[in-house]
Amino acid sequence: MTAPQGLATLQAGTLKWSVSHSYMPVESLCRFGTRRSRRRGFVFLSTVLGKHIPVVPSMVIANQKELAARLPKAENVVFVGLAETAIGLAQGVFEAYLEQHPNSCALFTHTTRHQLAESPWYNSQEPHSHAPDHLGYGFEPNLLENAQQARTLVLVDDEISTGTTLLGLAEALRQRLPAIEHVVLACLTDWSGPAGHARFAAAGASVVALCQGSYSFEPNPDYQPDAAPDARGASLCLEGSILKNHGRVGRSNSLPECSLTPADLAIPPNSTILVLGTGEFLHAPLRLALAWERAGYRVLFQSTSRSPLALGDGIGSVRHVSDHYGDGAPYYIYNHESAGADRIVVCHETPNTPVIENPGCPVICVRFGEDGTCVR
Instruction: Write out the DSSP string of 227-255.
Output: PPPP-S----B-TTTS-STTTTT-BSSPP
What CA–CA distance (Å, rounded) separates 146 from 150? 7
Q: What is the pLDDT of residues 306-322, one digit of tens each?
A: 999 999 999 999 999 99
Q: What is the pLDDT of residues 14-34, one digit of tens each?
A: 999 999 999 999 999 999 999
- pLDDT value at position 1? 42
pLDDT at 232 over 80: no
Task: Give the highest mean pLDDT range of 230-239, 264-273, 365-374.
Answer: 264-273
pLDDT at 128 over 90: no
What would the mean pLDDT of 339-352 be, rounded to a whole number? 97
Its pTM stands at: 0.96
What would the mean pLDDT of 157-165 be, rounded to a whole number? 94
- pLDDT value at position 3? 64
- pLDDT value at position 148? 95
Partners of 105 in the beta sheet? Answer: 76
Q: What is the pLDDT of residues 66-124, one digit of tens each?
A: 999 999 999 999 999 999 899 999 999 999 999 999 999 999 999 999 999 999 999 87
What CA–CA distance (Å, rounded) separates 283 from 289? 10
- pLDDT value at position 132? 59
What CA–CA distance (Å, rounded) separates 245 from 116? 12
Q: What is the pLDDT of residues 29-57, one digit of tens each?
A: 999 999 998 889 999 999 999 999 999 99
What would the mean pLDDT of 360-369 be, rounded to a whole number? 96
Instruction: Write out the DSSP string of 90-119.
Output: HHHHHHHHHHH-TTSEEEEEE-BSSB-SSP
Helices marked H in the chain:
26-29, 57-69, 87-100, 141-149, 164-174, 193-202, 283-294
CB distance 286 to 92 below 8 Å:
yes
Mean pLDDT (the chain) is: 93
pLDDT at 168 over 60: yes
